[in-house]
Chains A and B, each alone.
Chain A
Amino acid sequence: MQIDLNGTPVVTRATTLAALITEQGFDAASVATALDGQFVPRQARAATSLHPGARIEVLAPMQGG
């Protein structure tokens, strides 16, 4: 299915958020995730299903003021 990952259209075979994180090569312990604007805690990723058009944000620590 096609989803939106960090603002980019992505075709994925993953059906859960946890599988998507692995498939896309993210370091699962070093990122925080949101689905359709809602935070998804790390331990809830495996039980969080994706749907076509899902908007996923995968965020990491960055410089900030």
Chain B
Amino acid sequence: MSGFNKVVANYDEALDGLTNDMTLIVGGFGLCGIPEGLIAKIKDLGVHGLTCVSNNAGVDGFGLGLLLEDKQIRKMIASYVGENALFEQQLLSGELEVELTPQGTLAEKMRAGGAGIPAFFTPAGYGTPIAEGKEAREFNGKMHILEESITGEFALVKAWKADTMGNLVYRKTAMNFNPMAATAGKITIAEVEEIVEAGELDPNHIHTPGIYVNRVIKGTFEKRIEQLTLKK
């Protein structure tokens, strides 16, 4: 089974091969379900010129926001980036390029990219600035625009549990973009809360089959809450 043992011992091993100017697909929605330790390690490694594809860009000082501090991200592909003052500053100064993408289109770009579908038509964004320069076509009496899929040299995902073979289970809404991100990386790294032996996860309940996952690392998670909202 050793050929299928995906577990790595440390973050250096997990991110081996990551170099400047690569494209990273990163799971998570806001600060929920993000690979915290892998992102922090990328900050330490100091690689730069990165293109990051993720729904959000973290907040100042946490999540992908960490990689903005030393200007490691050259381009951000995201649907919503409104939580981050540093992001705004770098965007306005022209140091950071951003490609805003409707959330469902972003999810589908990852899904399709991972599934070997290079592009797809969607109604989202037709007639808006997002459609500029894109092919538009009518299907069933409705206009759609052609969107290209996304893959990356690396995908960084966060899961609840993995087995040693890289099968993944997510927890609650920390699933979000992680399953599609996991399929869209040439090398997919899963940072997880718990690693169990192969056979311990019920095959009925696996969200991401191990075929998509190259490396598994056990992380420790702060799980910072962005908008703590309690019942009045």
Partners in one complex: no
Interface residues, chain A, CB within 8 Å of chain B?
none
Interface residues, chain B, CB within 8 Å of chain A?
none
